[in-house]
Structure 1
C-alpha cells in the first residue's frame, strides 16, 4: 500500500508542534528553580528524602528531649541555600536546654520560646530517635512525619537546603521513592 504525500504531511503537521510543546515543557521545568530540603546520609551522601519547600514554610524538627522528657522543637526557614534557625521551643528548663538569653525570649502556651534567632547553617545533623525522642519532621502545614519513616533508628541524617531545578527535583524524588 502506498502512502500518499497528503498522509505524510498530516503526520508531520501533528508531530512537529507536539515535539515543540514537549521541548518547551522540559525547558521550563529545567529552568524553574525551587527551594528543596534535602535529607541524606552524611557518610554515604545517599539521599533519604527530598522535599519542595515553599518560600514562607517553616521546617520543624520536633522531638522529646532525652533528659527533660518534654517536647522540644527547632524551626528553620530556607533562605539563600541555607537553613536559617528561626526559633526553638521547649517545655522545661534543665540539662542541655538554653539558659543564656542572647536571643529574644517569651513564654507562650506553656512553652519557653527563643525567637528571632536567624542563625544560618549549611547543614544540620540529627540522629533518628525511636525509643524516647521520636524525631518528627513538619514542613509548613503538612502533617508531621516520623524520621523512622525514611531512616533507621540511631541513623545520622544531614539536613541541608538547596535551590534546584524542578526537573532535577522530580528526577531525584522519583529515584528516592523507587
Structure 2
C-alpha cells in the first residue's frame, strides 16, 4: 500500500513540475531555445518595448497587452519623437493620431493583433528594453546583441521556468 501512495505522490509531483499550467509572456531566442525568458505580467497584462530608432536616433515605445482570452498579443499604442523615415505620419482606420504635451507623437486606439512578435536585438544603437510597470529590462543583458527573439503568450511548466530566466513584472 505504501508503494502505491509513494508512486501516486511522485506522479502528482511530476505533473506539478512538468505540465505547463502557468501563463507567461515568453521571450525565446530563435537561434537556441535554451535561452528563454519567462515574464509574469501584472494583472493588466500590459508591457512595452522601447528602443532607439536607428536612423533618427530618437526613442520609440510600442505598447502591448494580452487580451482576456490570451490567444494573441495586441498592440494598442505607439509613442515616438520623429515622423521621419520609418515612422508613421498619421493613424489608420479607427486609430487616433495626437501630440503629447512634451511634443511626442502618439498613435492610440490601435488594435493590431499578433500571435507572436519577432524582434532582432539591436547591435549598435537600438538598446531594446522591455518595460513592465515601472521595471525595465535590457534585452541585450538576457540575449546577445543581434540575436532574434520571439515574444509569445503561452503556458509554461515550472521545470521550463527553472531552466530559463523568470522575470516578475
Q: TM-score range by the shorter chain?
A: 0.7 to 0.9
TM-score by length of 1: 0.74
Which structure shows the bigger proportion of residues in helix conformation? 1
Select the residue among 71, 77, 80 that pairs with 1:87.
77
Aligned-residue offset at 1:34 = 4.2
SS of equivalent residue, structure 1 residue 98: coil
Q: What is the match of residue 4 of structure 1?
A: none
Answering whether residue 30 of structure 2 is matched by residue 58 of structure 1, we say no
Aligned-residue offset at 1:130 = 4.2
- Following TM superposition, the consecutive aligned residue runs of length 4 or more in structure 1 with deviations greater than 6 angstroms are 25-32
Aligned-residue offset at 1:140 = 2.5
Aligned-residue offset at 1:41 = 2.2
What runs of 5+ residues in structure 1 fail to find an aligned partner?
1-11
Greater length-normalized contact order (CA 8 Å, ≥ 6 residues apart): 2
Aligned-residue offset at 1:32 = 9.7
Following the alignment from structure 2 to structure 1, what is the Cα–Cα distance between the partners of residues 124 and 111? Answer: 31
In structure 2, do the counterparts of structure 1 residues 28 and 171 end up closer, same or farther at CA, with 3 Å as the change threshold?
closer
Aligned-residue offset at 1:29 = 8.6
- The structure number with the bigger radius of gyration is 1
What runs of 5+ residues in structure 2 fail to find an aligned partner?
none
Aligned-residue offset at 1:58 = 1.9
Aligned residues: 154
SS of equivalent residue, structure 2 residue 83: coil
Select the residue among 127, 141, 149 that pairs with 1:134.
127
Following the alignment from structure 1 to structure 2, what is the Cα–Cα distance between the partners of residues 161 and 137? Answer: 15
